[in-house]
Amino acid sequence: MIDFGTYIQQSKRNCEELHGLDPTKAPELEVGISREEVQQRKQSLEQALHVIQHFMQKLLYYMGGTPTLVVTTDIDGYIVDIYGDPSIMEMVDSIGIQAGVKFEEKEVGTNSISLALRHKEPIALVGTDHFHHALSGVACYTAPFSYSDDNRLSGTVSIMTTIEYANHFHLGLLSSAVDSIERELRLQEKNDKLEILNQVLINSTPLGIMMTDEHGELIEYNTSLEQITESNVNQVLEKEHKQIDIIREYIDRVLHNGDTINNVEITLPINEEGDTKICLLDVIPLYNGEKIIGAFAQFRDMTHYYELQQQLIESEKLSTLGKFGAGLAHEIRNPLTSIIGLTQLLKENNNQNKYLDIIIGELERIQSLVNQFVLLRKPTDLKAETCNIPTLIQNTVELMNSNAQLQNIDIQFDSPHSDLKLDVDHAKIKQVLINFIKNAFESMPNGGKVRIQLIGTPKENEVRISIQDQGVGMTEDQVSKLGKPFFTTKESGMGMGLAICFDIIKAHQGDIKIESEKGEGTRVDLVLPKEA
């Protein structure tokens, strides 16, 4: 094993033979890089410098009374940090040791920093071990440090003192401090990687996640939690936040009893309008040994799942209803036709025509019901052709106008243009218009105004037909149920007209939007795309 003496002698020969240095002249140290580069090199070791300063301050404390200078360099030997006892700083300043100076053998002569970087082990130079006589009054101890996975050197840490305070224990103290520094840096780097991985995993999951301390105070959460609760950071952290209050009882139970909670269904309020989300909640305790130090909770937003489930139930109902309707139509339709025909024959030869009128009216009502069953059962089959929408609406309005006058209703149609063509099923769109206009009439038993507007230009992607009345209006609950088979707001309605209308517009890849307020009237928007 090569000892310090061998390293030192080799270095001194290099100083004389290779570099031509004069030991009697004091080394002249100059900063060979810009301030910006000094700052960049310092920033590259910023994390390490905090740890080095922490441990070296402890070392200086234990070396109390010893004038000591601490120097940290990077892998190239450039000083990036320097501090220590004021008395030794004066001597250091006199020879130009400062941030940005590079410790190279050809400039500084034999020095502990160059030797430590070259041989990758701790080095001590005391007094005349230095090449230059000007440094014979100081003792320098340097240890290289590394905290990368490949053990590549990162820099050096040195302590300098006067020769009167030189002690071979100083190198041991420094080496021990550097070992602690390396362990701390590796641990921090490992924790940083784990933190990054943890954040990636937490923030990439669709599950809402939150963690609390042992007192139930929120200390961690992910972006999915914000999305589910539709609350920002400050709202979630509020003490009186409603959503947190709902969850808190479960968290408190886990913290107090150590229970594990699985798949508890909770309903979270989302906004002041009363919207909610249904979630499944899991809560587990977090332990440090046998002590509970917090709770971990995760949320699964099941709102869309339940909505799909409800849609499936509705679909199954409609399927069953369709089968029933088909059977009903088959069994009743033919006898009804015969009964109506025979009744009409009786009417021609019977004086009690008023009774026959009632019979025929009621039978025709049953026949209408059966026919609507059949329409509801069949998929909507479109016979699309190019149609001028303003003309279609105008013709429908004229058709309904006589009925409007009888009911003291003023029906108006406004359109900014007279030529707007779409590929639609002319008859079915007319059926939808008649249905909604008729509903508008029936909502105004004392008369009023119905305004129909055509909104859209040839350049836009959709056409909107607006039908607005001044009728009795509907509640939010009633509006939400419109279009469902057998739901009606009329005393004598069968609840299938709107269901058929919704199917027709849906078959055109359009949409029906309804706004209504009790006592304020209703607005229906029929939205049709330009290209279905």
DSSP character string of 294-328 = EEEEEEEE-HHHHHHHHHHHHHHHHHHHHHHHHHH
- Closest to 76 in 3D by CA, of 105, 102, 110, 37: 102
pLDDT value at residue 228? 79
Q: What is the per-residue pLDDT for 368?
A: 63
Question: What are the domain boundaries of the chain?
Answer: 4-193, 205-302, 305-376, 385-529
| 441 contact partners, CB below 8 Å, separation of at least 6 | 400, 403, 404, 407, 409, 450
Sign for the CA dihedral angle at 62, 65, 68, 70 comes to: positive
**What kind and span of H or E run contains 504?**
helix 497-507
Domains 4-193 and 205-302 share a fold: yes
Which of 196-224 are b and which e, b meaning 16 or more Cβ less than 10 Å from the residue's Cβ? eeeeeebeeeebbbbbbeeebebeebbeb
Question: What is the rounded CA–CA span in Å between residue 452 and residue 434?
Answer: 12
SS3 469: coil
Show the tokens assigned to 98.
């400062």
CA dihedral (189, 193, 194, 198) in degrees, to 10, reads: 150
| Residue 69 host element (H or E) | strand 68-74
Per-residue confidence in pLDDT tens, the chain, 532 aa = 347 788 999 999 999 999 999 999 988 788 788 889 989 999 989 889 999 999 988 888 888 778 899 999 999 999 999 988 877 777 777 778 888 899 999 988 999 999 999 999 999 999 999 999 988 889 999 999 998 777 889 999 999 999 999 988 899 989 999 999 999 988 888 888 887 777 777 777 888 888 888 888 887 778 777 777 777 656 555 544 566 667 888 888 889 888 888 888 888 887 777 778 888 889 999 898 888 999 998 888 888 888 888 777 777 766 666 656 665 665 566 566 666 666 666 666 655 555 566 666 666 666 666 666 665 555 556 788 888 889 999 888 888 887 888 889 999 998 887 888 888 888 888 888 988 998 899 889 888 999 999 987 656 788 899 999 998 888 888 888 887 766 677 765 656 678 888 888 888 889 999 999 888 899 999 999 876 5
In angstroms, the CA 365 to CA 357 distance is 12
> What tokens appear for 252 in the block?
């408190």
The predicted pLDDT at position 335 comes to: 63
Tell whether domain 4-193 is in CATH 3.40.630.10: no
pLDDT, position 302? 84
pLDDT confidence of residue 126: 93
> What is the model's pLDDT at position 373?
61
Element (H, E) at 445: none
Torsion of CA 48, 50, 55, 61, to 10 degrees: 150
Contact criterion met (CB below 8 Å) for 82 and 69: yes
User: Quick one: 205-302 is in which CATH superfamily?
Assistant: PAS domain (3.30.450.20)
265 Cβ neighbours under 8 A, 6+ residues apart: 278, 279, 280, 281, 302
pTM, rounded to two decimals: 0.49
| pLDDT reported for residue 345 | 64
Query: For 385-529, which CATH superfamily applies?
Result: Histidine kinase-like ATPase, C-terminal domain (3.30.565.10)
Q: Residue 239 has what pLDDT?
A: 44
CATH topology of domain 305-376: Helix Hairpins (1.10.287)
